[in-house]
Structure 1
Amino acid sequence: MASSQTTAASTPSISDQPITGTSLDFSLFFKATYPDEDTQNTTDGSRKRKSRGMVMYRCLHCPADKPWANRKRDNAWHHARRCHADIISSLDRMLIGGSSDVLDDEREATRPRIDAFFPSRYSDVSLRRMFDRDRYLDAIISLITRRRLAFSAINWDEMQEIMLAANPAIEDLLVTNRSALMRLIDATYELYSSQLMATLEASISKVHILSDLWTSPHRHGILAISARWVDQDYQPQRALLAMPECRYSHSGETQASLIIDTLAKYGIASKVGYHVGDNATSNDTCLSYLSRRLRDDYGLTFDPSKRRIRCVAHIINLSLQAFLLASSKEALIAALDATDDTSNDQLFAQFYDTLHDAGQTTRTDEAHQRRRASRRGNRILENFTGWQHIAPLRKVHNIAVWIRKSTLHSAIWDDEIKLRLGIDNATRWNSWYRLELQDDILLASEWEFIERTHRFLQPFASATLLVEGARSTLSQSLSIMDVLLRQYEKYKELYSSKEKHDPHMVHCIDMGWFVLNKYYTLSDQTPVYAAALLLDPSKRRKYIERNWQESWHAPAIAAAQQIWLDEYNAAPIPESLRVPLDVSSSSGRQHNELDELLSDIAVTGPILDDADDFETFIDAPPTRITGSPLQWWLHRDQRKAYPRLSRMAIDILSIPPESSDVESHFSSARRTLSWDRESMTCENLAKVECVGNWMREGIIVPKSHGGRGVISSVAVEFSVETEAEDFLD
């Protein structure tokens, strides 16, 4: 396109007039075109953009017979000031006495005054003024980061058509460069990292760290680091802090170094509370190294054994694997040892493989056939190798495989049953058997066994869902294990009786109980478990006295009370929570003799200095509550009645009982790294996942909902490209 310039002799000079960024909105004066754009017809007839070439900015206000265009933005700005001063002046006059955040109806009322200056391009200018680009960018970045569309989606013909169907005048205002989009995500990540740091620093609770290691589809070790805390408005919060690549080594020391770097980035080393992770011993190494670094770098005390929280969902899973797979306690011990240094995504597969190998050995080891299996002396079955030896379970599994292997079988199943058939996961079961279906017809007695097994396992499934809920707290960990241990013992007694004797079930129960009890016993090393129970207003001391052995009571309560004495008993009380020791019966008047007489007949006791005390609270009768224990303590009434104890309760009850947060981050990252997007770098993956998580958790609030939204700076979008598009999808 040739560039021509037309200037009216009567055009007033505005060099001495201030030009505001709002009045001289570039998109209202110029449209970006690409005269050198190279396109290619695809096989389906659509036109796919290959190269946009150099940009040309065409003036929207010059007449069609005398167009003006130029490749330089600065020249375009100069042209607008020199040739369209009347339009700029009108915009400035309209905005005098107003602001950028006037009401929508006021903006609507003023728009016709501007459009009067655009008789030749009325439609385009009006439509471009109506385009809310900030809202558009909020939505696009949310689609990429939260909904996990590919970066190439911004170039899809269908995506362009959707936008242009809503507003046909904005083609050049759409983001069509993937690197520019990544720069906007990067700038948004940097902005909200700082905002998240301020939020974490202002938290009224300790910040609890969750971490886990994952092998990504593009074969990189990724460490997810997440946080839980209670913010300054007394609202529980959670967020993904970082997803750094764990290169060259997956050792506990390497993981601890990445965690320390994350704590330093957010300035929260002094606020670190407890660490939640799986049962791998690499977490012991990680926390020991973390303890040394916190001591050496910050002068902080962090007891690695007392600050470690084991994911209760992992414990339940391992216990049920033992129930279904284990042939002996020796096999269980070997399996648990084999998973000690295994990352989470391999832990269950390793556990299964070890149990299966041990089961194969059992078949030929006569000594294993003769040994005793359980704490109550029940004899193990000969050649028992887990669920494969239990005919009903084996047959159900094989039937499921038979149906799933054939689309014809699946179609018949769908027509008859009307439910989608699930199948066991390879990390929990061995799914690859090819047996003839006639060998797997279930007898009536076998259906009864399956029904019994289903009934027995139901509480375990419910318990797993319960601890994964948003309202779950650490006070549930021991109580859930108490219930599940009781479930094991109840059914062992049932199936050991003469009337219901079932040696298979007894053996399975012994194996599951062994694993669950192992981790239950390890909770003694972390006093905060018992403290969480005691600080639950619906449990307190009475729960321990009713459900635990008497010899456990005193040590558990003493260890929990020591936390109170060491960290909270002498803590200063916030001024807003101080309760006056002498409150008049009527505010604003002096205490008199009538008040003395009224106090003689009062039924309420005085405010006691020792009411805010750990032992006083746990000795009180349990209280039925409607919400979670944490929500009960976050209420202002409780914080005012127990100003110090509430701080302890909020710190402890804000600890999650399991690590599903990091599991969900890995699930999200797996969907982001679909098979056609595995060239994405780990650094970009981390930023995409963090921004998506922050949008999901409400840390990033769109402008349309009253927040700041994402970065929408033109300077960021049109900066020099630093990221090759090949490393985005």
Structure 2
Amino acid sequence: MDTSMTYPNSISIEEDGDIGSSDSIEETGHTNHQSQCPDTSAIGKKKLPPKATINMPGKKRRLSSEVWDYFDIIPKKDPNEELKCRCKKCGNEYSAESKSGTAQFSQDKFRELLVHAIVRHELPFSFVEHEGIKNVLTYLEPQIKHITRNTTKSDVKKLHAKEVNRLGNELWGCPSRICLTSDAWTSIVTDGYLSLTAHFIDSNWLLQKKILKFSYMPPPHNGVALAEKIYSLASSWGIERKLFAITLDNASANDSCVAILKNQLKLKNSLICDGMLFHVRCCAHILNLIVQDGLKEIDKSVELIRECVKYVKGSQTRKLRFTECVTQTSLDSKKALVQDVPTRWNSTYIMLSSALYYRLAFCHLQLSDSNFRCCPSLEEWGRVEKICSFLQVFYETTNAFSGSKYPTSNLYFPQVFKIQLKLSEECNSSNDFMRRIASQMFVKFNKYWSEFNLLLAIAVVFDPRYKFQFIEFSYNKLYGPGSNELVKVRSALFDVYNEYVKTSNIPGASSSCSRGSNEVYSPHGAKEQEDSQSFDILEEFDQFDTFEFACSAQKSQLELYLDEPRAKRSSHIIVLDYWKAQQFRFPDLSKLARDILCVPVSTVASESVFSLGGRILDQFRSSLSRQIVEALVCTKDWLFGDKSEGSLNMNLEDLTQNIMSLNINKDELDATIIEDSNSNVVNL
């Protein structure tokens, strides 16, 4: 690869050398000296003794720096050894060579750290011009050269350009194909932006997520325009020939966008299996549509719980009374009681779950507070309990699909299988209410999943706890033995594998592969969340082991892998670690596994960028140029990822408010708070 290749917006950066004085002190091995060394801020504030002198060959030089008032020169025993000095107070030894310089401050390093802070903490560019900040910096380093907001913007652009080149080399060097997620967003000033995120597995078998572009997207936002934009952005990074799949939400424009993209990529012969696996629909978005459909039927009971939480939140007096009810019913007040965001059904599930925990406290509050009239009846509490249990399956699946730090494609089939079984179970329920809800949701479920991407069924094969047996087990349960659906998945699996074998330099069939342990355990592996009552069916799968593959003497890597015993389903395995350990036994198969396991099943990674974009492009900074906005968003992701406080993944806790955590000032309650049952909710 030509490392001189330039990437989007790349520019050359000139580095300036550090400036230091002629005298020097440099630490030579002691690290814990800050608490004992003299306060150098006192230099220049009092009269100090005469400076030390140092004997040099042919001359005697006086050391002029005030630092030497606190250090003694250590006489050299050998003319060739390094000149050292000793702190008069703590006794630590330091290098005294003039090449080091007495000044430890670097203006260039200061500017670099300042830009990093502004990007990481989403600070305004005017931060560098605040008088208070300038005073603090001047106190710490009197020789500091302050910079303006325009200089800071320039530094941000240079940092972005530098990281573009670094990421470009990383993308070119990654051994896996690259998967994309994309979504559109409208800013506070109604400008359209397109987020394009790359997902790939690096040479260390670590899943990487990088925002490639946060680009201005002018209207129209139809399929043709989206396809041109995405292809243009991918080409600017030089990855159009490395694409494996793209995950988009279910907007109609995305269907035509994918069709155009596939045609463009086919011309370059870039797609696997002629693009059969290229388009992945956002599973989290589909789940959201299904659950929202069901919630239309349960609005009444949900609304009652919502009103209960609002009532408690309404004033300090109500919160105190509710807290007393919690104490009297021996409940733990540390457990959260949250108010939901109506547009986020998963926050509604959390609200229902927390309200059920405080059910006795609400009933007690109804008896002690005559103004509290929205407490659900016994029958309504029963409905809420059934709804909460029903929604738990969807909540846990959505959480599993929304991850970006671990593979999600292998989780798809087991999770969707659970949902389908749960819906089928409730459709045959004796409870008319639950049967009506489940039937309505099942219609939408079948609409979206009747023709899902076969890639998402194939992916479970590369989880050593499931392999192909889980697909056979599931289809036997749903469609009966020997179904066409099962044959279709098996055929697609071997077609994809055979295509990888053809394009590989390593022979694809081998009978001499040594067999080893097929489990890689880790205490940090992601535990599967299961409902023991609903999913005892999986225990039946644990005993299922009937699929037989070809019995030819010369078996392929895929057949050898599938013939090996499965790992225990309950074992905690990091799938990428497993394939990292098996890559030399199954070189072709591991390449396929690497590509399939990096496919995201949701667009959460791209959507979460918009919360960051909204914080950067807020009402106070809405005039920022589009180039600066992109530089701030992308650079923060590349340098800090999820390590910064403003993580891209907005937690539900940031959207919902825990009523039990709100401080109650009892002294103020004794004053003049007057309760009005008809008053509006007070914003705290």
Indicate the TM-score class for this superposition, using the shorter chain for normalisation: 0.5 to 0.7
| SS, match of residue 94 in structure 2 | helix
Question: Which of 573, 579, 583 is residue 627 of structure 1 equivalent to?
Answer: 573
Q: Give the Å deviation of 1:130.
A: 2.1
Provide the residue aligned with 2:178 in structure 1: 207
Provide the residue aligned with 1:571 in structure 2: 504
**Is the CA contact (8 Å cut-off) linking 2:134 and 2:146 kept in structure 1?**
no
**Is the CA contact (8 Å cut-off) linking 1:579 and 1:640 kept in structure 2?**
no
| SS, match of residue 587 in structure 2 | coil
User: How far does the alpha carbon of each residue in 1:620-646 deviate from its partner, in whole angstroms, 9 at most, with x for none?
Assistant: 3322353332331122xx111101111
Q: Give the Å deviation of 1:616.
A: 3.4
**Is the CA contact (8 Å cut-off) linking 1:225 and 1:259 kept in structure 2?**
yes
Q: Using a 3 Å threshold, how does the CA distance of structure 1 residues 235 and 290 change in structure 2: closer, same or farther?
A: same
Identity of aligned residues (%): 20
User: How far does the alpha carbon of each residue in 1:383-412 deviate from its partner, in whole angstroms, 9 at most, with x for none?
Assistant: xxx233xx4223123334455566765676
2:539 is aligned with 1:539: no
**Is the CA contact (8 Å cut-off) linking 2:18 and 2:107 kept in structure 1?**
no
- Is there any run of 5+ residues in structure 1 with no aligned partner, and where? 1-19, 29-60, 62-85, 89-96, 100-106, 116-124, 326-385, 497-501, 584-607, 701-729
- Matched residues in 2 for 1:579 and 1:554: separation? 25
- Aligned runs of 1:181-196 on 2, under 5 Å? 181-196=152-167
- Matched residues in 1 for 2:509 and 2:468: separation? 27
Q: Using a 3 Å threshold, how does the CA distance of structure 1 residues 301 and 543 change in structure 2: closer, same or farther?
A: closer
Provide the residue aligned with 1:641 in structure 2: 585
**Is the CA contact (8 Å cut-off) linking 1:224 and 1:662 kept in structure 2?**
yes
What amino acid does structure 1 have at the position aligned with 2:160? Y
Equivalent pairs counted in the alignment come to 498
Q: Give the Å deviation of 1:681.
A: 2.1
2:447 is aligned with 1:518: yes
- Matched residues in 2 for 1:307 and 1:582: separation? 31
Q: Using a 3 Å threshold, how does the CA distance of structure 1 residues 416 and 692 change in structure 2: closer, same or farther?
A: farther
Q: Using a 3 Å threshold, how does the CA distance of structure 1 residues 395 and 190 change in structure 2: closer, same or farther?
A: same
- Aligned runs of 1:663-674 on 2, under 5 Å? 663-674=607-618
- Matched residues in 2 for 1:655 and 1:186: separation? 31
Provide the residue aligned with 2:342 in structure 1: 425
Q: Using a 3 Å threshold, how does the CA distance of structure 1 residues 174 and 210 change in structure 2: closer, same or farther?
A: farther
User: How far does the alpha carbon of each residue in 1:97-126 deviate from its partner, in whole angstroms, 9 at most, with x for none?
Assistant: 999xxxxxxx983458589xxxxxxxxx95
2:202 is aligned with 1:222: no
Provide the residue aligned with 1:392 in structure 2: 301
2:490 is aligned with 1:557: yes
Q: Give the Å deviation of 1:483.
A: 0.6
| SS, match of residue 538 in structure 1 | coil
| SS, match of residue 237 in structure 1 | strand
What amino acid does structure 2 have at the position aligned with 1:109? Y
**Is the CA contact (8 Å cut-off) linking 2:283 and 2:601 kept in structure 1?**
yes
| SS, match of residue 182 in structure 1 | helix
- Aligned runs of 1:560-599 on 2, under 5 Å? 560-569=493-502, 571-573=504-506
Report the TM-score, using the length of structure 1 for normalisation: 0.61
Q: Give the Å deviation of 1:292.
A: 2.9
Q: Give the Å deviation of 1:197.
A: 0.9
Question: Which of 214, 220, 239 is residue 268 of structure 1 equivalent to?
Answer: 239
Q: Give the Å deviation of 1:200.
A: 0.6
What amino acid does structure 2 have at the position aligned with 1:567? Y
What amino acid does structure 2 have at the position aligned with 1:540? K
- Matched residues in 1 for 2:252 and 2:598: separation? 24
- Matched residues in 2 for 1:282 and 1:406: separation? 47
User: How far does the alpha carbon of each residue in 1:669-688 deviate from its partner, in whole angstroms, 9 at most, with x for none?
Assistant: 12222331222222211110
Q: Using a 3 Å threshold, how does the CA distance of structure 1 residues 163 and 306 change in structure 2: closer, same or farther?
A: same
Question: Which of 407, 413, 417 is residue 482 of structure 1 equivalent to?
Answer: 417
- Which structure is larger by alpha-carbon Rg, 1 or 2? 1
Q: Using a 3 Å threshold, how does the CA distance of structure 1 residues 428 and 581 change in structure 2: closer, same or farther?
A: closer
Q: Give the Å deviation of 1:482.
A: 0.6
| SS, match of residue 605 in structure 2 | helix
| SS, match of residue 683 in structure 1 | helix
- Matched residues in 2 for 1:140 and 1:513: separation? 54
| SS, match of residue 217 in structure 1 | coil
| SS, match of residue 244 in structure 1 | strand
Provide the residue aligned with 1:527 in structure 2: 454
Provide the residue aligned with 2:148 in structure 1: 177
- Matched residues in 2 for 1:661 and 1:582: separation? 38
What amino acid does structure 1 have at the position aligned with 2:427? K
2:374 is aligned with 1:440: yes
What amino acid does structure 2 have at the position aligned with 1:263? A
2:638 is aligned with 1:694: yes
- Matched residues in 2 for 1:578 and 1:113: separation? 65
Provide the residue aligned with 1:142 in structure 2: 116
- Matched residues in 2 for 1:114 and 1:647: separation? 51
2:305 is aligned with 1:320: no
**Is the CA contact (8 Å cut-off) linking 1:216 and 1:670 kept in structure 2?**
yes
| SS, match of residue 180 in structure 2 | strand
**Is the CA contact (8 Å cut-off) linking 1:278 and 1:311 kept in structure 2?**
yes
Q: Give the Å deviation of 1:503.
A: 1.9
| SS, match of residue 176 in structure 1 | coil
Q: Using a 3 Å threshold, how does the CA distance of structure 1 residues 24 and 557 change in structure 2: closer, same or farther?
A: same
What amino acid does structure 2 have at the position aligned with 1:462? E
**Is the CA contact (8 Å cut-off) linking 2:122 and 2:616 kept in structure 1?**
yes
Aligned residues: CA RMSD: 4.1
- Matched residues in 2 for 1:283 and 1:270: separation? 21
| SS, match of residue 509 in structure 1 | helix
| SS, match of residue 190 in structure 2 | coil
Q: Give the Å deviation of 1:557.
A: 0.6
Provide the residue aligned with 1:5 in structure 2: none
- Matched residues in 1 for 2:144 and 2:637: separation? 27
Report the TM-score, using the length of structure 2 for normalisation: 0.65
- Matched residues in 2 for 1:179 and 1:23: separation? 24
Q: Using a 3 Å threshold, how does the CA distance of structure 1 residues 444 and 644 change in structure 2: closer, same or farther?
A: same
Q: Using a 3 Å threshold, how does the CA distance of structure 1 residues 211 and 114 change in structure 2: closer, same or farther?
A: closer
- Matched residues in 2 for 1:452 and 1:483: separation? 17
What amino acid does structure 1 have at the position aligned with 2:609? H
Question: Which of 355, 374, 385 is residue 451 of structure 1 equivalent to?
Answer: 385
**Is the CA contact (8 Å cut-off) linking 1:284 and 1:305 kept in structure 2?**
no
Q: Using a 3 Å threshold, how does the CA distance of structure 1 residues 507 and 169 change in structure 2: closer, same or farther?
A: closer
What amino acid does structure 2 have at the position aligned with 1:511? Q
Q: Give the Å deviation of 1:162.
A: 4.0
Question: Which of 133, 137, 155 is residue 159 of structure 1 equivalent to?
Answer: 133
Q: Give the Å deviation of 1:613.
A: 2.5
Q: Give the Å deviation of 1:648.
A: 0.7
Q: Using a 3 Å threshold, how does the CA distance of structure 1 residues 189 and 222 change in structure 2: closer, same or farther?
A: same
Provide the residue aligned with 1:655 in structure 2: 599
- Matched residues in 1 for 2:253 and 2:21: separation? 56
**Is the CA contact (8 Å cut-off) linking 1:478 and 1:520 kept in structure 2?**
no
Provide the residue aligned with 1:356 in structure 2: none
**Is the CA contact (8 Å cut-off) linking 1:402 and 1:437 kept in structure 2?**
no
**Is the CA contact (8 Å cut-off) linking 1:542 and 1:621 kept in structure 2?**
no
User: How far does the alpha carbon of each residue in 1:565-585 deviate from its partner, in whole angstroms, 9 at most, with x for none?
Assistant: 2233551129xx9999799xx
- Matched residues in 2 for 1:580 and 1:482: separation? 34
